[in-house]
């Protein structure tokens, strides 16, 4: 097997897929990139058993086919040091010896048998879905932060894709906060429900740009495949039933507070510096058209109080939140003004944009309060 | 410049309080503690100490040593009330103090020497406390906390002592090793088997030898024996854990009974946690078998103050810990890794009804007392703890 490739092109492609690699792997083969040359195209894959990411490069010269697994770390470290120049890879598939020739000299390393590399699952009985890159990117950005980390509840560690003929809904929750992002300008051919793990979505975010290009999605019961330009990512879906999120979103919220998002966000961030370092608890008190945000850390006698003006309809109330959750939500809401809908100090607070410009987009964020001791 | 650290300790605090409230007890051997045979002596008067009684001794043994002793059941509410009064006096008068237990204080007077004369000043403070509260108090003064504490012990009862800078080692040298804070009975026995009786011997030993025998603690003990202690007086002593334990009148193996006790203890602690606006991230269960083998196990949990979560976890830990089919003498529950904050409500697990129910229960407890509402399974526990003499549960 032999091929010639530009050092920077190869580096760029490898960096896009190297996020799949774990720092410690149960199988040594997973510390490798799989290189396959076939019909004048080089495809490189990285896998962590759960997700496999592949990128392809058109080769101009040296088209002797073959495949081999190349140790990822040593290859990436070497490529980083090269300025733009052609590199020649010579691989002896019998001895697994790899020789790289650059303008500066020659480097030899030993690869692994390509057959050891985990096979990409074959998608049987799959359905297709087309999404524009910008919708997918938006959906990932808006939901990913709300996913959970609890190993005991794996379904919450992914983003829920609910497909229907009328719209597609993306949901993420960790049981303390929840995001529901619905697009009516994206449609599926039928009903479907998928839970996609966090890690591949994070990787996808890095390769899908904010464009109108189409991402082709194939999915069946076990796997989902994303194809975009010359990249593809296939990953195992999370098994299990996603919690009934609609049932926990309160409908009747008579207390409505509308406020500038950036003002509230910076106030929450500032005040939370003075809150307890573990619980990040802040207190919101609304009365009339004034929002009073306060926090204290009794252990260090730290305390902060701020007042903001807002529009408020409803009864005066006092409610406690984890400031981290509030800040995460506010920074992902990208609207000028937000409305916080509440009913009682022990029930969820709901954040929605005060005035949405995009009729096809429906976003709702929910945050559960902390119980205040009055 | 060297520091001036004062250690103040109320003399046999519980006994002094009892004598204050019931003057008839004065001058008599008094034991404070559980009145049953299995209780331990929490404190005893100097008259009782003459018979060889000391605190933490089983009540049964103490009674045998001193049959005439008057046994008083402790009134812990009254103790903490008086302890607060003393704390207030100290707080008003000193720049930095640390309350290290209900009856012990460290005070940092460094730098005050040139204005007042620290020793004179501390003497005045001691007299003021005794005058205002009627409680005898002793103090020791030196360059650091350890030496001051030892000096207080030597000055008692109702005395005071100053160890001048530079004399720490000579002061400690003739004292028995047991006087070093953190040397308990076990360590003392171990050192004694090595032929170490006096602190002087530890002072002469190389620190490596102490480390070989006792590990990290050995180094700490060696430093203390040499009068070296740089630890500062820490003004605010944040409570790091909440715990409760119960010794049975009769050893038991009745698992249902034990579990109901754990439920009641956990419920009680969880309420305390919420009242103090705290959350815990670590639950510990302790059991002591009838042969005094003591076992503990603990488990980390996400920060919570929720009754049900804590009770479930405590029961799980108990099942894990109680493996030997042997009679149990004592069980205990402890919450540690405490932080300030309220319970984060869970979107799926906490229904609105449950949240409201718990909040309503806490309101009832605050208004009508801790035992006004509780899980039925744990009611037996409160009945057992009910004190017919003062109408309160202890």
pLDDT one-digit tens code per residue, B324-358: 888 998 899 999 888 888 999 999 888 888 889 99
How confident is the model at residue B381, as a pLDDT?
66
Which of A240, A371, A372 is best to mutate for the B interface (most B CBs within 10 A)? A371
How confident is the model at residue B120, as a pLDDT?
87
> A272 CB near a chain B CB, below 8 Å?
no
Q: Class of B166-236 per CATH? A: mainly alpha
> A298 CB near a chain B CB, below 8 Å?
yes
Going from the N-terminus, what domains does chain A have, and what CATH number goes with each? 2-116 (3.10.150.10), 127-246 (3.10.150.10), 249-370 (3.10.150.10)
**Residue B394 pLDDT exceeds 50:** no
Query: Cα separation of B46 and B66, whole Å?
Result: 12
CB-CB under 8 Å, A298 with B303: no
CB pairs under 8 A between A and B: 66
CB-CB under 8 Å, B356 with A322: no
Please answer whether residues A291 and A310 qualify as being in contact, where contact means their C-beta atoms are separated by less than 8 angstroms.
yes
Give CATH superfamily name and number for B241-393: DNA polymerase, Y-family, little finger domain (3.30.1490.100)
Please answer whether residues A245 and A180 qualify as being in contact, where contact means their C-beta atoms are separated by less than 8 angstroms.
yes
> A279 CB near a chain B CB, below 8 Å?
yes
Q: Which residue in B274, B303, B346 is closest to A175 by CB distance? A: B346
End-to-end CA separation in angstroms for chain A: 73
Please answer whether residues B143 and B165 qualify as being in contact, where contact means their C-beta atoms are separated by less than 8 angstroms.
yes
User: Is the ipTM here above 0.85?
Assistant: no
How confident is the model at residue B340, as a pLDDT?
87
CB-CB under 8 Å, B339 with A279: yes
Domains in chain B: boundaries: 1-162, 166-236, 241-393
CB-CB under 8 Å, A348 with B274: no
Residues of A in contact with B279 (CB under 8 A): 279
How confident is the model at residue B384, as a pLDDT?
55
Q: What would the pLDDT profile of B88-125 be if each residue is shown by its tens digit? A: 888 888 888 888 888 889 998 887 777 678 888 889 98
Which residue in B186, B184, B144, B145 sits closest to B166, CA to CA? B144
Instruction: Tell me the catalytic residues of B.
Output: 104
Minimum distance, in Å, between the CA of residue A370 and any CA atom of chain B: 4
Cis peptide before B157 (omega within 30 of 0): yes
Q: What would the pLDDT profile of A343-365 be if each residue is shown by its tens digit? A: 999 999 999 999 877 888 999 99
CB-CB under 8 Å, B345 with A370: yes
Which residue in B297, B328, B329, B325 sits closest to B313, CA to CA? B297
Residues of B in contact with A299 (CB under 8 A): 236, 238, 340
Q: What would the pLDDT profile of B298-328 be if each residue is shown by its tens digit? A: 999 989 999 999 999 999 999 999 888 889 9
CB-CB under 8 Å, A173 with B347: yes
CB-CB under 8 Å, A173 with B349: no
For the record, the structure tokens of B365 come out as 């407890």
Q: Which residue in A278, A298, A368 is closest to B346 by CB distance? A: A368
Please answer whether residues B122 and B160 qualify as being in contact, where contact means their C-beta atoms are separated by less than 8 angstroms.
yes
> A256 CB near a chain B CB, below 8 Å?
no
Taking CA–CA distances from B273, the nearest residue in chain A reads A373
Q: What would the pLDDT profile of A3-55 be if each residue is shown by its tens digit? A: 999 999 999 999 989 999 988 877 889 999 999 998 889 999 999 999 999 99
Residues of B in contact with A176 (CB under 8 A): 344-347
Higher-confidence residue: B231 or A75? A75
pLDDT confidence tier of residue B386, bands split at 50, 70 and 90: very low
Minimum distance, in Å, between the CA of residue B275 and any CA atom of chain A: 7
How confident is the model at residue B393, as a pLDDT?
47
Residues of chain A with pLDDT under 70: 62-63, 374
CB-CB under 8 Å, B347 with A371: no
Fold of B1-162: Alpha-Beta Plaits (3.30.70)
For the record, the structure tokens of B77 come out as 């509410």
Q: A185 φ, ψ to 5°?
A: -90, 10
Q: What would the pLDDT profile of B126-174 be if each residue is shown by its tens digit? A: 999 999 888 899 999 998 899 999 999 888 888 898 888 888 888 888 9
């Amino acid at each position: 097997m032999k091929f010639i490739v530009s050092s920077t092109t190869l580096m760029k492609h490898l960096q896009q897929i190297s996020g799949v690699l774990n720092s410690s792997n149960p199988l040594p083969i997973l510390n490798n990139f799989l290189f396959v040359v076939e019909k004048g195209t080089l495809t490189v894959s990285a896998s962590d058993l759960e997700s496999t990411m592949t990128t392809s490069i058109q080769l101009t010269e040296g088209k002797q086919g073959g495949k081999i697994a190349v140790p990822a770390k040593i290859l990436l470290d070497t490529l980083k040091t090269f300025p733009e120049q052609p590199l020649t890879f010579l691989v002896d598939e019998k001895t697994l010896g790899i020789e790289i020739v650059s303008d500066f000299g020659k480097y030899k390393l030993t690869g692994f048998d390509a057959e050891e590399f985990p096979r990409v699952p074959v998608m049987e009985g799959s359905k297709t879905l087309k999404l524009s890159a910008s919708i997918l990117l938006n959906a990932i950005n808006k939901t990913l932060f709300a996913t959970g980390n609890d190993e005991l509840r794996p379904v919450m560690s992914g983003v829920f894709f609910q497909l229907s003929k009328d719209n597609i809904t993306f949901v993420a929750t960790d049981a303390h906060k929840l995001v529901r992002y619905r697009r009516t300008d994206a449609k599926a051919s039928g009903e479907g429900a998928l839970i996609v793990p966090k890690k591949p979505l994070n990787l996808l975010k890095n390769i899908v740009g904010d464009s109108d290009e189409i991402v082709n999605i194939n999915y069946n019961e076990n796997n989902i495949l994303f194809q975009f330009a010359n990249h593809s990512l296939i990953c195992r879906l999370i098994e299990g039933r996603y919690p009934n999120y609609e049932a926990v979103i309160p409908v009747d919220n008579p207390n409505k507070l509308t406020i500038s998002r950036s003002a509230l966000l910076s106030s929450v961030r500032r005040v939370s510096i003075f809150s307890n370092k573990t619980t990040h608890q802040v207190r919101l008190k609304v009365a009339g058209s004034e929002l009073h945000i306060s926090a204290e850390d009794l252990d260090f006698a730290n305390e902060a109080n701020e007042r903001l003006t807002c529009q408020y309809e409803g009864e005066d109330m006092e409610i406690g939140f984890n400031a981290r959750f509030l800040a995460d939500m506010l920074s992902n809401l990208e609207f000028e003004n937000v409305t916080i809908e509440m009913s009682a100090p022990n029930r969820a607070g709901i954040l929605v944009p005060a005035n949405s410009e995009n009729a096809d987009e429906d976003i709702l964020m929910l945050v559960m309060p902390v119980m205040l001791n009055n | 410049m060297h520091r001036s650290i004062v250690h103040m300790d109320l003399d046999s605090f519980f006994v002094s309080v009892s004598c204050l409230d019931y003057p008839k007890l004065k001058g008599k051997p008094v034991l404070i503690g559980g009145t049953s045979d299995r209780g331990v002596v929490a404190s005893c008067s100097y008259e009782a100490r003459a018979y060889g009684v000391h605190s933490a001794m089983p009540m049964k043994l103490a009674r045998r040593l001193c049959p005439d002793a008057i046994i008083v059941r402790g009134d812990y509410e009254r103790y903490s009330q008086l302890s607060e009064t003393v704390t207030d006096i100290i707080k008003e008068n000193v720049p930095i103090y640390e309350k290290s237990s209900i009856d012990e204080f460290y005070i940092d007077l460094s730098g005050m020497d040139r204005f007042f004369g620290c020793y004179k000043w501390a003497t005045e403070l001691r007299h003021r406390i005794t005058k205002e509260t009627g409680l005898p108090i002793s103090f020791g003064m030196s360059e650091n906390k350890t030496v001051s504490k030892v000096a207080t012990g030597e000055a008692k009862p109702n005395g005071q002592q100053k160890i001048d800078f530079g004399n720490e080692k000579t002061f400690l040298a003739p004292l028995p090793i047991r006087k070093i804070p953190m040397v308990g009975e076990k360590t003392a026995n171990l050192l004694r088997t090595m032929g170490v009786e006096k602190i002087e011997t530890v002072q002469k030993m190389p620190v490596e030898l102490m480390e070989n025998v006792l590990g990290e603690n050995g180094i700490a003990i060696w430093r203390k024996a040499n009068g070296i202690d740089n630890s500062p007086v820490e003004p605010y002593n944040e409570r790091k854990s909440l715990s409760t334990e119960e010794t049975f009148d009769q050893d038991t193996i009745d698992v249902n009974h034990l579990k109901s006790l754990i439920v009641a203890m956990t419920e009680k602690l969880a309420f305390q946690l919420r009242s103090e606006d705290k959350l815990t991230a670590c639950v510990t269960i302790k059991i002591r078998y009838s042969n005094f083998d003591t076992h503990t196990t603990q488990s980390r949990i996400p920060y919570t103050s929720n009754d049900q979560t804590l009770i479930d976890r405590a029961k799980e830990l108990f099942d894990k810990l109680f493996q030997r089919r042997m009679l149990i003498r004592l069980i205990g529950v402890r919450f540690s890794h405490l932080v300030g904050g309220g319970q984060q409500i869970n979107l799926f697990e906490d229904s609105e009804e449950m949240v409201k129910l718990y909040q309503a229960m806490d309101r009832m407890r605050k208004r009508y007392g801790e035992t006004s509402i509780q899980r039925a399974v744990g009611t037996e526990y409160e009945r057992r703890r009910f004190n017919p003499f003062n109408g309160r549960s202890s």
